[in-house]
Structure 1
Amino acid sequence: MENIKVGRKNNYIFDCFWEIKIINRNNLTFNPFRYRNLLIILFTILGFQIFAQEIKVMSYNIRLDVKSDGENWWENRKNRVSDLMNYYEADFIGCQEVLFHQLQFLQNELNSYEYIGVGRDDGKTAGEFSCIFYQKNKYKLLHQETLWLSPTPDSVSFGWGAACRRVCTYGLFQLKSNNKKVLVFNTHLDHISEQARQESVKLIAEKANQISQKHHYPIIIMGDFNSKLDEIPAKWMSEKFNNTRTVCESKPYGDSDTWNGFQFDKKPQGCIDYIFVSKDDQWSIKKFATITDSYQMKYPSDHFPILATLYYK
């Protein structure tokens, strides 16, 4: 009778799968069904790794260029900002408070990235951008748009008592390796008007769900929400979407507070930056980090960047 022998190395699971040898001996019998559950586990693990797509997402308020910042002026820290962004190699980076000349600098330094977005004050280059950088060799841009957070989102406008014009930029991206698509939104909510913040998150969520509904695109919404976790805009978003920090599968790395005010010797003051994803069973939120990198006892910006490592099957 032909019997089966398992040749062992170091990893028992892989021994069972790869090292099964059929030999003509009578001193050993082996029932392959004994290893059925083991092989099921193995195929599950390998299947997830092969077919799930890792997506690293960063949100970073880089602080606009204001000379009154003194030693924290943009010219003194811009290389630190670009170095940090390059080092972490996120697939998508949503930046806030980006003036056009800052955007030009970053575009020149981030060689692996392209960007989408427009200036909030004219729909071209004036005012702050809420731009999205994306890895150009990995993703193809299928569609992009910028909304003004107001009752008239298609035109340059103020909304609901906001102190500034506020925008949300989004793009539909396709992964070049397997044609999977993902919707990515980036925004910066008003710092004065609570009504504007509340209405803005509803507008963004409505737009995201409207686009996603037909094709079931996975959704990422990130940015500076100027809202702490116990305040209505952030609470509302956490009910409608998954907050990647609070539902992360592993312990989040770093402080939960994201605004440091350039004050290296003081505790950061509140979590106002977030990365949300659609409540989809196929999302797996593996890691979350608040990045507190510094240099010479200084921070590159008055906000800490946040980074989520996601898998989408």
Structure 2
Amino acid sequence: MTKLKVATFNLDKDNDIFPDRIYNLSNVIYKNRFDILCLQEDYNSKKFSTGKFLNIELNYNYISIKTREKFRNGINSSSNLTILSKYPIKLLDKLFFNKGKEDIERAAVFSQLSFKGKEILLINTHLCHLSSNNRIEQIRAILKKINEYKNFNTIIFCGDLNALPSYSEVKLLKEYGFSDKNSEFTHESRVILDYILNKSKRDISIESKVLLKGFSDHHCLLNIINFL
């Protein structure tokens, strides 16, 4: 049996005590030694990049795409989608929704993860917060893109979906064959908004937990995926 520790975490851009809370977070992330860390709202500017700073502690493989670029506190910055990976990872594609419209621009990153002889399709996304109908269209676009990668036996889908488990957009993913294990709150408002979903032809079991509370308005969601 082999284990893969996958985490997803919305870092809340440059809000609250920033970047001090990121400096404090780096030691905690280092101690947890996640295999994969999918980040949303990864603040990035010429002066400071949260994802790059965290990766200094890990020295992992690094993929990041810029989304939602604008002036924040007088500084031109972006709110990136980033993947930090202990194992080899390759960017396959990036999918943008409402490109250039900061309030609603969102994206999804498609990557190939090479893990102990297994090739895994890993997706990281952050969906729109304004409209369930918009999120449904974004999910449909993601599923259409997934259909282009039929050679993968395992798909891991991470991100902040801005949707409760009962919402149609989450149900759409489960109708496609995805499942998730988490039942704990992932946001300080005591709701579930963050997900690690999986779809696999392999025999797997999953342990799920929520941790790293207090560093963001979101909590970090961790899945330990056991390949049997």
TM-score normalized with structure 2 length: 0.86
Which residue of structure 2 lines up, in the alignment, with residue 273 of structure 1?
A: 194
Which residue of structure 1 lines up, in the alignment, with residue 171 of structure 2?
A: 235
Query: Letter of the aligned partner of 1:140 in structure 2?
Result: P
Picking from 202, 208, 214, the partner of 1:282 is: 202
Picking from 80, 101, 122, the partner of 1:129 is: 80
Which residue of structure 2 lines up, in the alignment, with residue 171 of structure 1?
A: 111
Once residues 180 and 205 of structure 2 are traced to their aligned partners in structure 1, the CA distance between those partners, rounded to angstroms, is: 6
Structure of larger gyration radius: 1
Which residue of structure 2 lines up, in the alignment, with residue 78 of structure 1?
A: 22
Which residue of structure 2 lines up, in the alignment, with residue 58 of structure 1?
A: 7
Which residue of structure 2 lines up, in the alignment, with residue 11 of structure 1?
A: none
Once residues 241 and 227 of structure 1 are traced to their aligned partners in structure 2, the CA distance between those partners, rounded to angstroms, is: 18
Q: Is the 8 A contact 1:65 1:102 kept in 2?
A: no
Once residues 21 and 89 of structure 2 are traced to their aligned partners in structure 1, the CA distance between those partners, rounded to angstroms, is: 30
The answer on 1:191 being equivalent to 2:126 is no
Q: Is the 8 A contact 2:154 2:201 kept in 1?
A: no
Q: Is the 8 A contact 1:143 1:173 kept in 2?
A: no
- Of Structure 1 and Structure 2, the greater strand share is in 2
User: Aligned pair count?
Assistant: 218
Once residues 207 and 85 of structure 1 are traced to their aligned partners in structure 2, the CA distance between those partners, rounded to angstroms, is: 31
Which residue of structure 1 lines up, in the alignment, with residue 51 of structure 2?
A: 103
The answer on 1:258 being equivalent to 2:198 is no
Give secondary structure in 2 for the equivalent of 1:257.
Answer: coil
Q: Is the 8 A contact 2:61 2:88 kept in 1?
A: no
Could you list the structure 1 runs, at least 4 aligned residues long, displaced by more than 3 angstroms after superposition: none
Q: Shift of residue 116 of structure 1?
A: 0.6
Q: Is the 8 A contact 2:90 2:112 kept in 1?
A: yes
Structure 2 runs not aligned, ≥5 long: 70-75
Give secondary structure in 1 for the equivalent of 2:164.
Answer: coil
Q: 1:165 to 1:105 in 2, by over 3 A?
A: same
- Of Structure 1 and Structure 2, the greater helix share is in 1
Q: Shift of residue 121 of structure 1?
A: 4.2
Q: Shift of residue 258 of structure 1?
A: 0.9
Q: 1:115 to 1:199 in 2, by over 3 A?
A: same
Once residues 114 and 281 of structure 1 are traced to their aligned partners in structure 2, the CA distance between those partners, rounded to angstroms, is: 26
Give secondary structure in 2 for the equivalent of 1:311.
Answer: strand
Q: Is the 8 A contact 1:141 1:174 kept in 2?
A: yes
Picking from 130, 144, 156, the partner of 2:92 is: 144
Once residues 85 and 238 of structure 1 are traced to their aligned partners in structure 2, the CA distance between those partners, rounded to angstroms, is: 30
What is the CA deviation profile of residues 172-229 of structure 1, one whole-angstrom value per residue up to 9, with x for unaligned ones?
Answer: 1223xx4321111001101112222111111112212321x1x233110010000001
Once residues 63 and 121 of structure 1 are traced to their aligned partners in structure 2, the CA distance between those partners, rounded to angstroms, is: 13
Q: Shift of residue 80 of structure 1?
A: 2.9
Once residues 87 and 206 of structure 1 are traced to their aligned partners in structure 2, the CA distance between those partners, rounded to angstroms, is: 37
Q: Shift of residue 164 of structure 1?
A: 2.5
Percent identity of paired positions between Structure 1 and Structure 2: 23
CA RMSD of aligned residues (A): 2.2
Q: Is the 8 A contact 2:11 2:42 kept in 1?
A: yes
Q: 1:166 to 1:54 in 2, by over 3 A?
A: same
Q: Is the 8 A contact 1:58 1:93 kept in 2?
A: yes
Structure 1 runs not aligned, ≥5 long: 1-48, 151-155, 247-251, 261-267
